[in-house]
Amino acid sequence: MFSNNTKCSTSEDDDASIISQYAQDLLDYSSCYGSHGSLSYSAVNICGRPCKYPSYGDFAECFSLRHYGPRTDNEYSVKDIHDKITFHDFVVIQFENFVVPREITIFETYNPGAVVKILAYMWNDKRWEVLYEEQPMLVEKKSRAFCPKLKKVNAMTRVLRIEFDCSLLDYYIGIDSVLLTGLKPSTLIPQPVTESKFIMGLIQQKLDNVNFRPQLTASDAIEEFLKNDLNKFIENVGFTDSAVQIRREKAISDMPDEVIFKIMSFLDLKSLYNCSRVSKKFHQIAKDPLLYTEVNLRVYWYRVNTILFSSLQERCKLIRKLDLSSCGYYGSVTAEDFIKFLRANGRSLTHLRLNSSQFLNSFCLQQIGFKCENLIELSLQNYANISEEREFRPLSLLTRLETVDLSRSGIDTFALVTLMKSNKNLLHMYLAFNQQLSVDQICLHISIDLPRLRTLDLWKCHGLTTAGLRVLARCENLEVCDFGWNLREESIITDPFKNLIQNNPRIRKFVLAAVRGIAERDLLNIAALCTNLEYLDLMGIVGITSEAVHKILQSCNRLKVIDLSFCENLDDVTLFQWANEFNVCIKRSEVPSEF
């Protein structure tokens, strides 16, 4: 089936030395639709051979991410995000054999186009190499074997990280499998420095001297130009060796420091470091702590190391927002580095994101509690993937938190309750995928301690029952409620549910995916009471009738999105009519007819 995809195009490769292999292990992931302990839509489904390709549709046997569409959270340090390719989500997978990568095929079975970056961990050099990088694409909605053109490298790897940006998609992605094709490491011959490369270096220097930069990026075209036309070009424009010494009447270094500082204030972190290498004066200005009030190392995660981190320590005396998400694979940043940084600069931090930060351990959390007294936002997504031993209690030393993201962090009920007690101004609390929590107990404390809470994300915590719903109904300021995959054992939730929506008229986003107890009457209550509703997810609610959903469409005037996937009583014709009748985006997953 894949013979066309696996064929290597390069002539250097002799067939006997080529290995093609599917992913063997899942090492890390940012998010997946499925939950721990279940195989449906789980990240581990990316391993092994394709099981659905070339079929197209919403398959539980594939890997799917929890989110799609434009991201709503604000990135730190916008200048570091601007015009860069950044990811929303990622997976790290390991293959059985080391190879020199030549071809990677990603079997996309639902909403393709989100792969933006592929990196390989190069074993000998101990660093990540970017093999592919491109903006997300809007592509035809059918399955595809995505086989991007890779950067050619001559080192071996068995670990890949694939990064996704789902902002262009209008529904969930589905990835079936990843195939890595490459040369056996034993066939690797070190490449001598060729003569043409050497010449190119000299010519490049000459070009730099005359301040000429060819705009072409295709290296072949440049080489062609350098070999044949360069001398002609230099003659034509009248540069001679003496003309190289064009002196400007003014140099940028003559400008007042504050003007150079202003120029630097537009620059991203990498450009700032390049500036500090330019000259002593530039170095002095580029180190100004005012240029480092927001630092986003998530964008540079695969380059961040101990040296960079310790040099930042001095520059970050006034730091307020720090994102270290995804940093620290294979010991590139250690807990000690982080703790040293916090001891020096923790006090000024107001925002800290450590999603999937690999160095995280209990000592780090302890220092966050001890040193970061001014934190108003803390994000520790996926800590449970990193460490078995987790001690969250020191976090209750914090008192100013307004936003806390503990999705898949593995926090225990006791630690969360003490954290809530000491941070009564919490507005947004994300607890998705924490199945260990006693959710009803958490809800009780929310109703007592967090009167201002606006966002409560309990996606796939599973533990919420009517008892929890009953106490949660005492809240009055909820705007975003995610109860997806909770209330699974309940047959009737009507009264507490009605109380909740009655007391919280500001609810904008309501996720009730797979909440079994939701019935006709509850939907009619939503229609009557949730006047501010913009997003409603009713995925997998089997018993509901088209009359009730129609009522919601008629009365919730602000509704923009409604998810009706796997609502078996609703037929496609009705949904099509609604899509024309109402200005609402109706989501329904595509299930191939074989089902």
Partner 1 sequence: MDIDRPSDPQVSVVSSDGTMFHTTLKSILLSGTIKDMIEHIGEGGVENMGAIPLQNVDSKTLEIVIKWIEHHKDNIQPTSEEIKDKTADFIDPWDENFLEMDLDKLYNLITAANYLNIPQLLWLSTRKIAMLIKNRTPQEIRSLFNIEDDWTPQEIEAVQKENQWCEEK
Contacts to partner 1 by CB under 8 A: 78-79, 82-83, 127, 129, 208-209, 211, 213, 247-253, 255-256, 258-259, 262-268, 270-271, 273-280, 282-283, 300, 303-305, 307-308, 311
Q: Is the dihedral of CA 396, 399, 401, 402 positive or negative?
A: positive
Q: Which segments of 4-61 are extended strands (E)? A: 18-22, 25-29
The amino acid present at 450, given as its one-letter code, is L
Give the shortest CB-267-to-partner 1 separation in angstroms: 6
Q: How far is the CB of 332 from partner 1 (least distance, A)?
A: 10
Answer whether 94's CB lies under 8 Å from 5's CB.
no
Query: Between residues 35 and 325, which has the closer beta carbon with respect to partner 1?
Result: 325
Q: Which two tokens stand for residue 248?
A: 């400007």
The residue behind tokens 């005037």 is 557
Q: Which residue lies nearer to partner 1 by CB, 37 or 247?
A: 247
Whether residue 390 contacts residue 413, with contact meaning beta carbons closer than 8 Å, is answered with no
**What are the angstrom distances between the C-alpha of 11 and each of 8, 154, 351?**
8, 15, 52
Helix (H) or strand (E) holding 468: helix 466-472
Nearest by Cα to 65 from 87, 42, 47: 42
Q: What minimum distance in Å lies between the beta carbon of 484 and partner 1?
A: 35
Q: Which is nearer to partner 1, 75 or 520 (CB)?
A: 75
Smallest separation (angstroms) from partner 1 to the CB of 211: 6
CB of 284 to partner 1, least distance (A): 12
**Contact predicate 381/408, CB 8 Å:** yes
Q: Which residue number, 118 or 398, has a Cβ lying nearer to partner 1?
A: 118
CB of 247 to partner 1, least distance (A): 7
Q: How far is the CB of 337 from partner 1 (least distance, A)?
A: 13
Shorter beta-carbon distance to partner 1: residue 143 or 332 = 332
> How far is C-alpha 534 from the chain's CA centre?
24
Q: What is each CA distance from 398 to 102, 319, 394, in whole angstroms?
A: 49, 18, 8
82/488 with CB nearer partner 1: 82
Nearer Cβ to partner 1, position 305 or 348? 305
For the CB of residue 260, give the shortest distance to partner 1 in the complex, in Å: 9
Which C-beta is closer to partner 1: that of 28 or that of 268?
268
> Is the previous residue joined to 101 through a cis bond, with omega within 30 degrees of 0?
no
- d(C-alpha 386, C-alpha 584), whole Å: 40
In the bound complex, what is the minimum distance in angstroms from residue 129's beta carbon to partner 1? 8
CA distance 138 to 112: 8
Amino acid identity of residue 591, one-letter, is: V
Angle between helices 520-529 and 494-503 (to 10 degrees): 10
Please, which residue, 129 or 440, has the CB nearer to partner 1?
Answer: 129
- Give phi and psi for 341, each to the nearest 5: -60, -45
Shortest Å distance, C-beta 270 to partner 1: 5
CA 29 to chain centre: 9
According to DSSP, the β-strands at 89-110 and 144-146 are: antiparallel
Cβ contacts of 17 within 8 Å, gap of 6 or more: 183, 184, 186, 187
> Whole-number minimum distance, CB 452 to partner 1, in Å?
26
The smaller minimum CB distance to partner 1, of residues 127 and 445, is found at 127
Which is nearer to partner 1, 278 or 542 (by Cβ)?
Answer: 278
54 closest CA partner among 103, 108, 91: 108
C-alpha span between 488 and 349 (Å, rounded): 40
